[in-house]
Amino acid sequence: MAETAAEEKAERRIVVAVDEGEESTYALTWCLTNLVSSNFKDTLFLVYARSAPTVYTGLDGTGYMFSSDIVATMERYANEVAESVMEKAQKICRDLAGDIRVDTRVEGGDARDVICQMVERLNADILVMGSHGYGLIKRAFLGSVSNHCAQNVKCPVLIVKKPKSPAS
């Protein structure tokens, strides 16, 4: 019976939120170097939140209409960015932990909601994410994705802050 519990515990589901920023790349690298271990059967889920299409409104409150070509171009660009982010993240995984199981998920929507929903849907054991290190004012206006996730997911959250580079 103790063997079964140890076997169940040996399998971990780690969600790493990735985006275009250096902070998420650093968090993924840190995770692979310090958290992922050959002692566990880790599955790494790379989650990318593709922002929803922006709706532009005029001063009179009416929405701007875009031609289908422009909408298709914006959609294609968003897909290319998502693909690029995932390729970079997968390469980091291969370089630092070649034999780990990696699964990628790209979902559209607000990053806060997408990450929280994916953590729940994947039944994650831990969420790893980078911190942009915004100050109080920026955080008040922009909101903090990591803070929102830390408050709303039901698993531990590891927020990895990239060290500041020394002044030249």
Q: What is residue 168's predicted lDDT score, i.e. its pLDDT? A: 46
Do the domain assignments include residue 2? no
Q: Which residues of the chain have pLDDT under 70?
A: 1-9, 52-67, 133-143, 166-168
- Give the chain's mean pLDDT: 83
Q: What is residue 73's predicted lDDT score, i.e. its pLDDT? A: 82
CB 140 within 8 Å of CB 150? no
Q: What is residue 136's predicted lDDT score, i.e. its pLDDT? A: 58
Q: Compute the distance between CA of residue 48 and CA of residue 118 in angstroms, rounded to an integer.
A: 10
How far, rounded to the nearest angstrom, does the alpha carbon of residue 1 sit from its chain's CA centroid?
A: 36
Q: What is residue 146's predicted lDDT score, i.e. its pLDDT? A: 87
Q: Compute the distance between CA of residue 108 and CA of residue 48 in angstroms, rounded to an integer.
A: 8
Tokens of 1: 């019976």
Q: What is residue 132's predicted lDDT score, i.e. its pLDDT? A: 72
Beta bridge partners of 42: 12
Number of domains in the chain: 1
Q: What is residue 99's predicted lDDT score, i.e. its pLDDT? A: 80
- The pLDDT tens digits of the residues spanning 8-26 come to 547 899 999 999 999 999 9
Do the domain assignments include residue 3? no
- Domain around 89: 11-161
Do the domain assignments include residue 168? no
Give the CATH number, domain containing residue 24. Answer: 3.40.50.620
Q: What is residue 8's predicted lDDT score, i.e. its pLDDT? A: 53
Do the domain assignments include residue 166? no
Q: What is residue 141's predicted lDDT score, i.e. its pLDDT? A: 52
Q: For the whole prediction, is pTM greater than 0.85?
A: no
Do the domain assignments include residue 6? no
* Residue 153 dihedral angles phi and psi, to the nearest 5°: -90, 160
